[in-house]
Structure 1
Amino acid sequence: MRTSIIKWGLLLLITGSLQPKLNAQSANDITVQKMLKSLSGSMRLSTKQYEGTNLVAEQLFQQGSLQTNTGNWQLQLQTASVSGHPEAIDVTAAYKLQTGTANATAVTVSFDFSNWTRDNYVMVPASIYNGNRYKAIGYGYNPDYPKDMYYNPSVPLTISNNPRLSIETGKASLVELQTGNTATPAMCFYSPAAQKGFIVVTDQRSKFGNHGLTIAENAAQDSCRFSISVPAMRKLATGFGDFHPSGDKAPNWKAGDEMALHFRLYVFDAKSIPDLLTAFMKVRKDFLGPNQPRNILPMSKQVEVTTAINSGNFITVPAGSYYRMENNNHFQLGWVAGMMNTYPMLALNNEKERNRVAQEIDFVVSKLQGKSGFFYGGMTAEGQIRPEKMSPAFPALQAMVRKNCDALLWMMKHLMLFRAQGYGSMIKPEWEESAKKLAAAFTRTWKQHGEFGQYIIPETGEVAVFNSTAGAIAPAGLALASGYFKNKEWLQVAKEAANYYYNRDVVKQGLTGGHCGDISMDADAESSFGFLESLMALYHYTGDKSWLKKAEVQAALCATWTISYDPEFPANSQIGKLGSHMAGAVWASIQNKHAAPGVCTSSADYLFKLYRATGNPLYADLIRDIQHAQTEAVNMPPDHITTNNLVGSSMERIQLSDAEGKGAIGNFINTRNSWTETNGVLMALELPGIYLQTDKKTLRVFDHVEAKIVKSDDAGLVLVIENKTTYDASVSLFVENSKNAAKPMGYTEFLNWPKVSVKAGENIRVLVNKNGKVSSLQPSKTALVTHQNIK
Structure 2
Amino acid sequence: MSIKYRILVTTLLLSTHILQAQQQVANALLNQLHGSLRYNVCQYDGTTLLSEQTFQQERLQTGSGDWRLQLRTTALPGGATDVQMVCQLERGTAIQSAVTVSLDFARWSAGNYVLVPAAVYNGNRYRSIGNGYNPDYPRDMYYHPGVPLTISNNPRLSAVDGQASVIALQTGNAATPAVCFFSPQEKKGFVLLTTQQTSLGNSGLTITENGAKDSCSLSISVPAIRKLATGFGDFHPSGDRAPDWKAGDEVTVHFRMYAFDAENIPALLQRFMELRKELSGPNQPRNILPMSKLLQCATDICRGNFIEVKTGAYYRPENNDDFQLGWVSGMINTYPMLALNDEKERKRVARELDFVTEKLQGESGYFYGGITAEGKLRPEKMHPDFPELQAMVRKNGDVLFWLMKHLLLLNEQGYGKMIRPQWEQAAKRLATAFAATWQKHGEFGQYIAPRTGEIAVYNSTAGAIVPAGMMLASRYFHVVAWTKMAENASAFYYLRDVEKQGLTGGDCGDISQDANSESAFGFLESLMAMYYHSGDRRWLQKAETQAALCATWALSYDPVFPPGSAIGKLQSHMAGAIWASIQNKHAAPGICTSSGDALFKLFRATGNRRYADLLRDIQHAHAEAVNMPGHPTTNNLVGSSMERIQPSDAEGKGSIGNFINTRNSWTETAGMLMALEVPGIYVNTDKKDIYVFDHVTAKVVTAEKSAMVITVTNPTMYNASVSLLAENDRQAAVPLSYTAFVKWPHVTVNAGQTVTVRITREGVVAI
Alignment of 1:651-730 (within 5 A): 651-713=642-704, 716-730=707-721
Aligned residue in 2 for 1:418: 410
Give the Cα separation in 2 of the matches to 1:62 and 1:380. Answer: 67
Deviation track 1:325-347 (CA, whole Å, cap 9, x = no partner) reads 23100001000121100000000
Q: 1:458 to 1:9 in 2, by over 3 A?
A: farther
- For residues 641 and 724 of structure 2, the distance between their equivalents in structure 1, rounded to whole angstroms, comes to 27
Aligned-pair CA distance for 1:24: 8.4
User: Aligned to 2:116, which of 118, 124, 127?
Assistant: 124
Counterpart of 2:757 in structure 1 is 766
Residue 241 (structure 1) aligns with: 233
In structure 2, the partner of 1:266 is: 258
Corresponding residue of 2:4: none
**Matched residues in 1 for 2:11 and 2:330: separation?**
66
Unaligned runs of 5+ in 2: 1-9
Q: Alpha-carbon deviation of 1:207?
A: 2.0
Q: d(CA) in 2 for partners of 1:405 and 1:365?
A: 15
The answer to whether the aligner puts 1:317 opposite 2:309 as a matched pair is: yes
- Say if 1:110 and 1:763 are closer, same or farther in 2 by CA, change over 3 A: same
Please say if 1:148 is aligned against 2:140. yes
**Which of 57, 66, 71 is 2:65 aligned to?**
71
Whole-Å Cα distance in 1 between the matches of residues 75 and 259 of structure 2? Answer: 13
Alpha-carbon distance in 2 for matches of 1:26, 1:176: 29
Determine the C-alpha separation between the residues in 2 that align with 1:698 and 1:446.
44
- Displacement of 1:89 in angstroms is 1.4
Moved over 3 A (4+): 8-13, 22-25
Matched letter for residue 52 of structure 1: G
Report which stretch shifted further, 128-137 or 64-73.
Answer: 64-73
Q: Show CA shifts across 1:139-177 (max 9, x none).
A: 000000000000000000000000000011110001000
Matches of 1:597 and 1:311, distance apart in 2: 21
Work out which of the residue numbers 165, 171, 188 in structure 2 matches 1:196: 188
Equivalent in the alignment of 1:459: 451
Q: Which secondary structure state, in structure 1, belongs to the residue aligned with residue 365 of structure 2?
A: coil
Tell whether the 8 Å contact from 2:204 to 2:220 is kept in structure 1 after alignment. yes
Q: CA deviation at 1:284?
A: 0.4
Native 8 Å contact 1:453 1:466 kept in 2: yes
Segments of 5+ residues of structure 1 without an aligned counterpart are 1-7, 14-21, 778-791
Instruction: Name the aligned partner's letter for residue 669 of structure 2.
Output: T
Q: CA separation in 2, counterparts of 1:428 and 1:137? A: 45
Contact (CA 8 Å) 1:535, 1:551: kept in 2 or not?
yes
Q: Per-residue deviation at 1:286? A: 1.0
Instruction: Give 2:101's match in structure 1, choosing from 99, 106, 109.
Output: 109
Identify the residue that residue 789 of structure 1 maps to in structure 2.
none
Report the identity percentage: 64
Matched, 1:394 2:386: yes
Structure-2 separation of matches of 1:589 and 1:9: 52
Give the AA of the match of 1:63. Answer: Q
Answer whether contact 1:188 1:199 (CA < 8 A) is retained: yes
- Asked if the contact 1:9/1:23 (under 8 Å) is kept, the reply is no
Shift of 1:253: 0.6
Q: What is the CA-CA distance between 1:715 and the residue it aligns to?
A: 5.5
Q: CA contact under 8 A between 1:483 and 1:541: conserved in structure 2?
A: no
Q: 1:544 to 1:9 in 2, by over 3 A?
A: farther
1:663 is paired with a residue whose SS is helix
Q: Are residue 434 (structure 1) and residue 456 (structure 2) matched? A: no
Structure 2 partner of 1:550: 542
In the TM superposition, what is the alpha-carbon distance from 1:714 to its structure 2 partner? 5.2
* In structure 2, distance between residues paired with 1:308 and 1:34: 60
Report the CA distance between 1:86 and its aligned residue: 2.6
SS at match of 1:86: coil
**Equivalent AA in structure 1 for residue 262 of structure 2:** A
Counterpart for residue 86 of structure 2: 94
Secondary structure of the residue aligned to 2:24 is helix
Which residue does the alignment assign to 1:278? 270
- Asked if 2 retains the 8 angstrom alpha-carbon contact of 1:408 and 1:439, the reply is yes
Larger displacement relative to structure 2 (714-723 or 748-757): 714-723
Shift of the alpha carbon at 1:713?
3.0
Question: Which AA in structure 2 matches 1:557?
Answer: L
Give, in whole Å, the separation in 2 of the partners of 1:86 and 1:696.
28
The residue aligned with 2:7 is none
Task: Identify if the C-alpha distance between structure 1 residues 251 and 461 changes in structure 2 by more than 3 Å, giving closer, same or farther.
Answer: same
Q: Does 1:29 align with 2:20?
A: no
Q: Is the 8 A contact 1:736 1:772 kept in 2?
A: no
Aligned to 1:640: 631
Q: Of 738, 742, 750, which residue of structure 2 is paired with 1:751?
A: 742
TM-score by length of 1: 0.95
Q: Alpha-carbon deviation of 1:38?
A: 1.2
1:46 aligned partner = 40
Give the alignment partner of residue 281 of structure 2, picking from 248, 267, 289.
Answer: 289
SS at match of 2:78: strand
**Per-residue displacement from partner, 1:676-697 (whole Å, max 9, x unpaired)?**
0000010000000000001101
The partner residue of 2:604 within 612, 616, 637 is: 612
Structure 1 residue 26, shift from structure 2 partner: 2.7
Q: CA deviation at 1:698?
A: 1.4
Kept after mapping to 1: 8 A contact 2:318/2:324 = no
Measured after TM superposition, the shift of residue 10 of structure 1 is 6.9
**Shift in Å, 1:742:** 1.4
Secondary structure in structure 2 of the residue aligned to 1:266? strand
Residue 526 of structure 1 corresponds to 518
Report if aligned partners of 1:40, 1:114 keep a CA contact under 8 Å in 2: yes
Q: 1 CA distance for matches of 2:461 and 2:707?
A: 48
| 1:472-493 Cα distance to aligned partner (Å, 9 max, x none) | 0000000010111111111111
Task: Give the TM-score of the pair, scaled to structure 2.
Answer: 0.98
Q: CA deviation at 1:744?
A: 1.4
* Aligned match of 1:781: none
Structure 2 CA distance for aligned equivalents of residues 467 and 101 of structure 1:
55
SS of residue in 2 equivalent to 1:385: coil
Aligned residues between the structures: 758
Q: Secondary structure at the match of 1:539?
A: helix
Distance in 2 between residues matched to 1:347 and 1:306, nearest whole Å: 13
Structure 2: distance between partners of 1:536 and 1:483:
15
Tell me which amino acid in the other structure corresponds to 1:398. Q
Cα distance 1:54–1:358, how it changes in 2: closer, same or farther (>3 A)?
same
CA RMSD of aligned residues (A): 1.2
Instruction: Give yes or no for contact 2:578–2:590 (8 Å, CA) kept in 1.
Output: yes
Q: Distance in 2 between matches of 1:650 and 1:23?
A: 57
Work out whether 1:136 is the aligned partner of 2:128: yes
* Alignment of 1:223 onto 2:212: no
Equivalent of residue 560 in structure 2, options 568, 572, 581: 568
In 2, the alpha carbon distance for the partners of 1:11 and 1:739 equals: 67
Quote the offset at 1:25 in angstroms. Answer: 4.2
**Residues 422-465 of structure 1: CA deviation (Å, up to 9, x unaligned):** 00000011110100000000000000000000000000000000
Q: 1:74 to 1:540 in 2, by over 3 A?
A: same
Is 1:482 the counterpart of 2:474 in the alignment? Answer: yes
Query: Structure 2 CA distance, aligned partners of 1:531 and 1:379?
Result: 27
CA contact (8 A) 1:10 1:26 kept: no
- CA distance in structure 1 between the partners assigned to 2:12 and 2:420 by the alignment: 82
TM-superposition CA deviations, 1:719-778 (whole Å, max 9, x none): 110001000000010000112111211100001110010000100111112x1521111x
